[in-house]
Each structure stands twice: as structure tokens, then as C-alpha cells.
Structure 1
């Protein structure tokens, strides 16, 4: 029980919400703002890259990125993210959360700038350079997932822990909005030059040369929020849980957390041996599998299945919007006008569908609970995708485009008021301190494996815009969401309990450690 905890851990669990918690949310959240911006801004400019570097001289039609090139431009950052999650997740448990936390931001800043400066004497060399830097950008982004989640869970009190972790992740929604907003604003600025009264003859240009500056600026601006929070990130103290339970220094943990919480905390070092005796097992041991094996399978499988659908929809928005009638066909607009319309549609969908879902989770996660929010989200996503799949021929007609857009937006809403948020929260709470960052990394990496299926598989299948293929893809994604619904029963509810009680680190024999039933908090 929580009464068996060290004094410093009890102090963290019962601490009132104060300014430092808000600061921690902002510091960690700005990392996720940057993550989302960097991952999704590529969707607003990938068509522009095709028009700039793959112009069809034979037909004089707007150029397109070849299918494999498009897949790599859009998906290579996901490969880097998966790799970074595994590496930094492991380092977070071995070296400490703080020691590697700043490294992820440095990588994101440098690689975001270098992505925009991608050089070369041919289209192939420019795209190759871009993909190289976006891989390492993803590597830094990947490290942010387990470290931010773990740090926030270990700082928060047990009554608001879910809200705080979800609030960090909700900054992803803000990042997606800004990815659309920045691209929309910059393309509008460039368009004002071409569509002004002095330059009316340029309206018929298919690809404005200034587009080459535009996409580079969009990518480089992703470095700004990461750069602004770097100083505060390196000034954060190591979490009290890591200092006490892993480094074995209860006195230093009490000093650090006492300074943070502005209270006096007893060192209470005599209980450390009890914690170490209860948790002397490794990730690959039978004891870990007995205590947490089903939980890890549950967090990995649900995140994997969710991201197949979530990233398929997000990265394919540029291809779905013309079908909805929200943007014009590329043969009817100039390159910058196409970017403007695509980013505007992305901005509206994110603002009305994606963004509210994140914050509904923040508001209701402690009352409804992680378990039920995840079930509801998976179920509703499955229903809406099934409707879009079955009725695709009907919905794609001009007269019904707003019905299509509404259903499409609702899938994003229930992804975020659902498994896209809870799959991030649960791995940060279910596992013991010595393996928390690693297990979160494994879960997140499974998610990125699903995202890669979405980017390389589903998107390739639907890239041609063939109505039958899009219809089939929607129905398959509906099925994967129902699988995610079923796999949710492998995890348990965590609200209202201390991290040590959930994981059994305090020596308690809580039955919810080995069952898939949601716990009822007191």
C-alpha cells in the first residue's frame, strides 16, 4: 500500500498542485508540440516537393513524388522515431531521466534546421539529404516519448497524474494545429505576391519558384519551440523516484523534491532495502512476466493497432481532402495555392476534431478512467471508419462532402479522446521505476511500427486515389480498431493509486497487478 512508501514518494503522491507542476507540463509539453509539428508538417509540403523536383516535362502536368519516394519522405522520420524510442528509453533507465533529456532537444533543433537546408545538385540528392536529416530528427523525437511520459508520471501526485501526463501529450494536438497554421500562413504570404494586382499574369503558373523557400522555412521553424525550452529542461532535477529507488540515494531525493515542492521531507533511507528486495528482477525474467507480462503485451498491442489507423489518416490527409472536396485537384491550382488549401483543411480538421479530443481526455481521465476512455475511443473510431468505408461512394459526392468531413473529424476526436492519449498514459504508470522508461519505449516503438505500416502500407495502397482501394482501407482500419478494443482488456485501470502500489514496488500484493479488470480507486 502507499503507506509503505518512502516519505519522499508519499510527499510526491499527496502534493498539492503548484506552479512547478505547471512548469513541468510546459517543459515536457513543448517537446511534444515540436514532435507533432515536425512529424506532420511534412504532409503539408510533400506535394509541393513533387511539383518542385519532379515536374512532368512530357505532359506539362504538375509533378508528383514517385510512390516510393513519397513513402520515404513521409515515413522516414517514423523509422527514426522508433529507433530513438528504444535507445533513449533504455538510457533513461540506465543513466537517469535528466541526463539524456536535453540530448533529444539538441537533436531536434539541429536536424529540423538541417532538414530545411537540404542541399544537392539534383532532385534525388535533395530528397536523399532531406530523408537523412528527417531520420535523425525522428530519432530525437523518439527519445521524447518515454522520457517525457516517465518524468511527468514520477513528478505528479496520484490524484492528478493522469491529467498531467495527458496534458503533456495534448500538446501534440497544438503542434498539429500549428503545422497547418504555419504552412497556411506562409503559403498565403507568398501567394499575396503572385495574386496581387501587379502580377496577375502569374496566376496561371503551376509551380511558383518561391515554393522552394517556403517548404524549407516550414521545416526549419520546428527548431524554435525546442530551442526555447532547452535551458529549462536541463535545469530540471532528476525525479525523486529515480534518485531514491534506482540510485539508492533517499537523502538526495528528499532534498531535490523538498526544494521543488517547497516542503521539508524526511530522508527515510531505511526502507530502501525493502524496495530493492521487492524489485530485484530484469525485463526478461519470469518475475517480470508474471507481474507485468500481460500489461506489456496490452500496451504494445493497443498502441500498435491504434497507430496503424491514426497515422494512416494523418499522413494521407493531403490525398483524402481532394476527395472530400475540401481542396481542389492539383491540375486546377498552382503549387502554393495547393499548399494553402491542404494546410487550411488540415488546420480546420485539427482544430475542430483533433484538438478537442486531447483536452476532453485531460478533463475526464480521472473521472472516467484510462481503461474506459480507451475502450470508448477504439469502438467509436471503428464505427465511424466502417461507415466511411461502406458508404464511401455516397459520401465522396460533392453534395455530401461535409458529412464525410464530419465523420472524418469524429474519428480524430475519438482517437484523441481515446487510445491515442491513453496508450501514452498507461505505460508510464503500469511498470516499476527501474523499467518504466524502457517499457514505455517498447510500447511507443510498437506504436511507431504500426505508424510505419500506415505510412508505407496503407498510404501506398490508397495513393492512387482509387475509390475502391480507399473504401477497402477504411474497412480494414475499422477492423484494426476493434482488435485494439479487444486488446485493451489486457491492461488495468491505474487511476487514484500510487505508482508503487500499481507496480507492486512497495511490497503490496495487489490483485490488479495480475488481472485485466479495471481497479476501483478509493
Structure 2
């Protein structure tokens, strides 16, 4: 069965070769007097067509603005046309195969975020129902301690923070598979506890509820670094598939969180209709018990099945083990963590604080949703109205998720500008809401404007920092500490959620907007200064650079990881790391590395390498021949290299 990976890479040798040639066929040359160089297999490895112009071999990030716009636009359009054509061929062979490919590549990868989104956001959905049925506990606090009812939210967030840091470290220490299977099992246990929670008193039940959410939260927290790194590294050695679609792969896995929220809201509505016959009050205790227990129980088997899939079915890239082998590290890479703390501290400030600020806005909006819905309903809202409007808001958010996946890999927009533009849009929405709050909450046109602004903020949260922070927190760090760095950034973000949960209890509705807006603009500034734009950058280049950093020879790396296009403003202006960038020297370095690889992978070592028989023969014979004589080095292979196009793409992946 065809997979989306095939869509991302090469549908056929003809598609790939024509796409590579057409991308630059009409682009102007940097040196018009220099005739185009004949394509060779070696040049295809050193100057891949998705990143370099053909003929003069100029990296896309080095092109003048006008030419860069034309080149990237043409490449993007032709890649989209190639993918759509391949989807069309899949549909003709089997109409369900594109859907099957989407599920196997993205839905399964993001299923952990689906189940955590389902449970995590159910807490906010259930609270209004609990307040209506047990006001003496949840509203008036006559029989329940207000500290324990508040702890339902706090302990959930604390559990998430623990999981993000703990499992992030485990993911880099023991491995991605261990962390992912462990997360699924912990969430299964938590789901069972939430379904069966009980107490001899209401206070005891609330305590059991809070502790169950803490356990579940540990699994939820681990999902963040594990899903991000696994989704990203699944294509990390995939050559063009990595460079062109890495962000989309992560974003489509991450948006499963939104589908989880939608599924939970639908299940809650259906469960209450079945047990209570209506969404209107008064609610009885029996139907409420059935409603919340059913919606927790529904997710138990899918979560347990997720553990099965992760242990027995999913394939895991060996990016981590390769990185440790290059760095001569066994166990946890403490050396890289210490060095990254000084070498990349500014990136950590960017990824962590942006996530913090985003969660102040994101979770603040969730907390504020009841007030918003009551406002647009004339000052009051029933539980049914609240849940139905929440469905609409989730739908708007899902549009933002998918728009983010669509644009996140475009070289002229990408992650950094999506994050920056999303943050400034959120700032504008919130500062307007705070400034004219009395007018926006008036019946009539004011409420309609308030509704539009609120939905716009939800859209730009997903078509912006909520999606990009999930990707960048792993993408801008080396593989051996990637999960740890992501976990630390995500845990910092949850402190923002905790701030919103606490602060929003003590300030007015209008001041909630004034509190959130400055965080958004501060995160926007830090994005521009501290966050690098790694759109289109091969992750292996970051590993090549990091290997030199670990050796204390960072200045000897001349590749695109230090191209000004892929460095933050701080790294360019203050640290001046772009000064080491030298494309010609880097090409020589790559050539020497390939020759060393060929010489070290001779004989028995080639036989042991994870390559097909055809690829082993290609490595021994064709690639070796390049280093035999300069004449053969520049001799094009069968039809200008097109006959080896698909093999080269896969070989490029495996040789890393």
C-alpha cells in the first residue's frame, strides 16, 4: 500500500527527476556566462535540487530576494502539483488508499495527542456540569475544600510538567520507543482511574479526581517531547522528504490534539442526551455520573491499543543512536546538555518563553470561554449552549491547525514567521478586546464583533505559536538532547498555563485581556531575536555542525546550518556565527566526508550496513568510482543521473 512518505518523497523516478529539473529550469543564473554543469550522482548528493539551483549550485537561502521569491514559489507550486498528481494516481488504484495513508502516517503518529487532548480538555467541559449538580462542593464549597477543587486544575498541570521533563530525559537516555510506550500505558492507567474514581464523601471524590488527573498528566506531559521528536525524526534521514515536509509531518500529528478536543465535546453531548434526554437543567446525579464516567471510559481501549501499536507496529528511526555514535556517547548525553546550555541558551529562551506566553493566552482563552459564551448569549448561557459554542470554537481552531500544516514548510513563510505573525495577531485581538470591552459586551453589533475577535484569536493561536512552538522546541536542538530540550520548553509553557489558571481567579474579565496581551508581544519580540528560522534546513546539517561544536571546532564547519538564513538575529548580530559560512569549503568538506565514508564502509562493513543489495552495489561501485579519477567524477550517469534518482534519495537517507 502506498504511504504518505511516498507522496512526500518520490512517486516515481520520472516525477522526481522532472520535479528536480523543472524547479530551476526558468530561474535566472547567478552567473549567466557560466554554462550549466552536467548533473552527476555526486552533485545530486551534495547539491540536492530541492535546496540548490541547478547549474551554479547556489543555496536557496543565499539567493537575492527577487530570485529567491521566484525560485521558492516555483518549487512550492511544482512540489504541490507532484503530490496532488501522486494522490490522484493512488485514488485511481484504490479510492481509499489516500485516506489510509493519511491515517497510517499522521493519525497514528499523533494518536497520543488525540487521547490526551480528549481527556485534558474534558476537565474544563465537566466543571460547569459538576457545579450545576453538586453546588455545595464545586460552587459554594460547603462540603468540599476550595483548595482541593482548585487542585483539580493545578495537579493536572503539575503532572504534565513532571511528565514533560521526566519523559523528555528518558527519551534521550533510554530511547524514543520506551518513552512512547510508557506514555500510553500511564495514560491508560489514568483513564481507568478517572473512570472508576470514587469517594465515601464528595471531598474524597474530589481528592481522588485530582490525584487521578495528576497520574494521567504525567503521561500527557511525556507525549509532547515524544510525539514531536518521533514525528520529526521519522523523516529526519529522508533527504528531500525531511527538508520539504518535516514541519508538516509534525503539525499534522500535533493537530490530533484538536480532534481529541472535538471528539470529547461530541461524546459529552451524546452521553448527556442519552442519559438525561436533554442538554437543559436541572441535571440529576445519576445521569451526571453516567455521563462523565462514559466519556472517560470511551478512551481506555484506544489508549491501550496505542501502547500496542507503539510497541509492536511502529517503526522508529535510529537518529538518536546515530547521533550518540557520532559523538562517542553511551547513555545520557550530559556533555551535549551542558554545552547546549551555553551554546544555545538564547534558543532555549526563545522556545521556552514563547511557549510560556502562548499557554497564558491559550489556556486563558479556555478558562475565559464560559464568560465569552455567556456574553454572546445575552449574559447567561446554559450548559448545552456552552458546549455547542465550544464545538464551533474547536472547529475554528482546527481550521487554524490545518492552515498551519499547509504553510509551515513554505520557505518564504515557514515556522518563524508563522509564529511571529500569529503572536502579533493575538496581541492585536486581545488589546482591542481589553480597550473596548464595555462596547464589545453590549447586545447587538458589539457582541458580534466580540465573537469575531475571539474566534480570530483561536484561529491565530493554532495558525501560529501553538503549532510552531511544538515543532521548534525540538527542531532547533541536536538529536542527542532533543527530547530533553523539548520537554523543558514545554514544561516552561505549562507554567504559563498555571499562571493563567491562578491569576484569572483574581482579576476582572477585562483585565484578563490586558494581562495576556503583553505576553504575546514579548513573545513576538523574542521570536524575532532568539528563534532561528530552520525552514528547509536539513536536520543532518545541524548534526554536522553540532559534532564540530562538541570537538571545539565550530569555526571549521562551513555548511548551511550557519547560513544567515537559518540563524537567529542574536546569532548573526551578537555571536556572528554566520562568518564561518563558506559554501565552497563546505562542498569540499562533504566530498571528503563521502570519500571517507566510502573507504570506511568497504568489504564486510558494507555487507553489514542497513542497505539493500542494489544500494550496496551502488556504494561499492558507482560511488567508489567517483573517487577513482576526476574524469569519472564528472562523468554523468545514465541519462544525466535520472536513472539513479530514486536510489539516490534513499541512499542519501541511509548514508547519514
Q: Under a length normalisation based on structure 1, what TM-score does the superposition of the two structures give? A: 0.80
Q: Could you say what the CA RMSD is over the residues aligned between the two structures, in angstroms?
A: 3.3
- Give the Cα separation in 1 of the matches to 2:468 and 2:281: 48
Q: Aligned-pair distance for 1:320?
A: 3.0
Aligned twin of 1:178: 263
Aligned twin of 2:119: 38
Aligned twin of 1:261: none
- Give the Cα separation in 1 of the matches to 2:174 and 2:333: 18
Match of 1:479 among 512, 518, 529: 518
- Give the Cα separation in 2 of the matches to 1:395 and 1:70: 32
Aligned twin of 2:429: 384
CA contact (8 A) 2:231 2:250 kept: yes
Higher CA-based Rg: 2
Higher mean alpha-carbon deviation, 216-225 vs 429-438, is at 216-225
Match of 2:400 among 318, 342, 357: 357
Aligned twin of 2:86: none
- Give the Cα separation in 2 of the matches to 1:345 and 1:67: 28
- Give the Cα separation in 2 of the matches to 1:165 and 1:501: 19
CA contact (8 A) 1:83 1:142 kept: yes
Deviations 1:156-191 (A, max 9, x none): 222100000111111111112122222122222233
Aligned twin of 1:244: 322
Higher mean alpha-carbon deviation, 140-149 vs 21-30, is at 21-30
**Distance 1:115-1:410 versus aligned 2 partners, 3 A rule:** same
**Distance 1:327-1:31 versus aligned 2 partners, 3 A rule:** farther
Q: Aligned-pair distance for 1:369?
A: 0.6
Aligned twin of 1:198: none
Gaps of 5+ in 2: 1-40, 52-81, 84-97, 236-241, 549-556, 573-577, 584-656
- Which of 1 and 2 has higher RCO (CA within 8 Å, sep 6+)? 1
Match of 1:342 among 380, 386, 391: 386
- Describe how 1:223-242 pairs up with structure 2 within 5 A: 223-235=300-312, 236-242=314-320
CA contact (8 A) 1:89 1:143 kept: yes
Aligned twin of 2:607: none
**Distance 1:36-1:327 versus aligned 2 partners, 3 A rule:** farther
Aligned twin of 1:421: 467
- Give the Cα separation in 1 of the matches to 2:303 and 2:316: 20
SS of structure 2 residue aligned to 1:55: helix
Match of 2:361 among 302, 309, 326: 309
Higher mean alpha-carbon deviation, 82-91 vs 44-53, is at 44-53
Deviations 1:311-360 (A, max 9, x none): 1111332343212317845xxxxxxxx43222111111111x21111110
Q: Aligned-pair distance for 1:209?
A: 3.5
Q: Aligned-pair distance for 1:35?
A: 1.4
- Give the Cα separation in 1 of the matches to 2:178 and 2:147: 38
Structure 1 stretches of at least 4 aligned residues deviating more than 6 Å after TM superposition: 16-21, 60-66, 517-520
Aligned twin of 1:516: 569
- Give the Cα separation in 1 of the matches to 2:252 and 2:203: 40
- Describe how 1:367-446 pairs up with structure 2 within 5 A: 367=410, 368-399=413-444, 400-446=446-492
CA contact (8 A) 1:115 1:219 kept: yes
Aligned twin of 2:128: 47
Q: Aligned-pair distance for 1:25?
A: 2.3
Q: Aligned-pair distance for 1:22?
A: 5.8
- Give the Cα separation in 1 of the matches to 2:245 and 2:108: 18
Aligned twin of 1:320: 372
- Give the Cα separation in 2 of the matches to 1:244 and 1:56: 54
CA contact (8 A) 1:149 1:425 kept: yes
Deviations 1:50-93 (A, max 9, x none): 23333389xx9999987544432233211100110000000000
- Describe how 1:27-176 pairs up with structure 2 within 5 A: 27-55=108-136, 68-156=147-235, 157-176=242-261
Aligned twin of 1:332: none
Q: Aligned-pair distance for 1:401?
A: 2.6
Q: Aligned-pair distance for 1:245?
A: 2.1
Q: Aligned-pair distance for 1:230?
A: 2.3
- Give the Cα separation in 2 of the matches to 1:514 and 1:363: 23
Q: Under a length normalisation based on structure 2, what TM-score does the superposition of the two structures give? A: 0.64
Aligned twin of 1:300: 352
Q: Aligned-pair distance for 1:21?
A: 8.3
Count of paired positions: 458
Q: Aligned-pair distance for 1:500?
A: 2.7
SS of structure 1 residue aligned to 2:569: coil
